[in-house]
Structure 1
Amino acid sequence: MNDTVDGLAPDEQAAFSEWQQKVAGANISQSTLLATDYLNHFNEIVMLLELVADMPDMLEECKAWAPKSYQDHFRDSTFRDKDLAVEAYNHVPVRFRRPFEDTVEQMNGLVFQALERLEDAVSLDDPEMVRIRAHAASRGIQRLIDVASSIIHGSDKAMDQAQIDEILSL
């Protein structure tokens, strides 16, 4: 007999319920214990990639962007409830945490792949290719940001491999 509720054992459910109360009133989802503020880290690179389409010299600024873990993002942020967000992450149920972390990993990979492809287009002095690749990269990352956002708000679905492959075929 399986005594789990939402995939959590009874003792895990009690701890999760306690954390749901702790984040009440904070800008952290009570459903998942995740905060959308983390996505600002990826919104930054999307904005920079969009600038590359018209200003290829912005590629250097894009290359300065680096992945940042969820907890490191909050440790370095001015987010009002940053300490709560850092600690709550340790209590995010696996059914949300796994697809969230997978999606973050996919976003990081897409950023680096996009930067390589953009660097190739810039080195070929092909402004149209730069524009096409910059737009494709920003749209692809934005699609993954949307997936991450839905996970933060309670979906436990990440993209399947075919959807990821489609995005990665910039």
Structure 2
Amino acid sequence: MMDEADFAEWQKKVEGTNISSTTLLATDYLNHFNEIVMLLEMVPDMPDMMEDCKEWAPKSYQDHFRDSAFSDKELAIEAYDHVPGRFRRPFEETIDHMNAIVARANGQLDALIAEGNEELLRETANTVTLSLQRFMDVASGIIHGSAKTMSQEEIDAALAL
């Protein structure tokens, strides 16, 4: 279990930055998922965007910041090791769900493009992006200190695309 004094020290370190002093997490990480959502939204109108979707790959929180231009990236990378489990566990589970949705969606959308089923392609892309948005909302809430996550039933429904 993390030392509360250590956590309090880290909360002070991130004050005045774009890193939440409540959780030690930064919403900038969600830009990684905003990118794939935008790409997936374009696929029905521009099926060749599927190649870009397939090139998108999951990226850990710390790797995202290592590769970013985020002003406090070193602090974000270091602070992640001090995020309390009450935030880190649900955050990482939410990210895992989003990565799974993207992986499955890429396969589904690729198959629909090959079949030429434009209506189902549009419907599936829309469902996938809405599902990813819901998970991003949950992740954002966690980053800002909310303990509210999705119920197992909601998660199962979102993952059963």
CA distance, structure 1, for counterparts of residue 110 and residue 15 of structure 2: 45
After superposition, what is the alpha-carbon deviation per residue over 1:88-122, rounded to whole angstroms, capped at 9, x for unaligned? 00000000000000000000001011111111111
Task: Give the alignment of 1:138-149 within 5 angstroms.
Answer: 138-149=129-140
Per the alignment, residue 63 of structure 2 pairs with 72
Structure-1 residue corresponding to 2:6 = 15
More deviation in 151-160 or 128-137? 151-160
Residue 99 of structure 2, aligned match among 97, 108, 111? 108
Instruction: State the AA in 2 paired with 1:111.
Output: V
Task: Identify the match of residue 121 of structure 2 among 105, 125, 130.
Answer: 130
* Larger gyration radius, structure 1 or structure 2: 1
Q: Which runs of 5+ in 2 are unaligned?
A: none
Q: How does 1:51-66 map to 2 (within 5 A)?
A: 51-66=42-57
Q: Which runs of 5+ in 1 are unaligned?
A: 1-7
State the partner residue of 2:39.
Answer: 48
Q: Deviation of residue 160 (structure 1)?
A: 2.5
What is the identity, as a one-letter code, of the residue corresponding to 1:91?
H
* Structure 2 counterpart SS, 1:141: helix
Deviations 1:17-50 (A, max 9, x none): 0000000001000000000000000000000000
1:100/1:158 contact within 8 Å kept: no
How many Å apart are 1:162 and its aligned residue? 1.0
Give the Cα–Cα distance (whole angstroms) in 2 for the partners of residues 124 and 14 of structure 1.
58
C-alpha displacement at 1:146, in angstroms?
A: 0.4
RMSD value, Cα: 1.1
Q: CA deviation at 1:140?
A: 0.5
TM-score, length-scaled by structure 1: 0.92
Q: Judge which range, 66-75 or 116-125, deviates more.
A: 116-125
TM-score by length of 2: 0.97
Question: How far apart, in 2, do the equivalents of 1:121 and 1:160 lie?
Answer: 30
Percent of aligned pairs sharing the same letter: 60
Measured after TM superposition, the shift of residue 53 of structure 1 is: 1.9
* Cα displacement string for residues 38-83 of structure 1 (whole angstroms, at most 9, x for unaligned residues): 0000000000000002111111110000000000000110000000
- The 1-side partners of 2:36 and 2:77 are apart by 22
Aligned residue number for residue 3 of structure 1: none
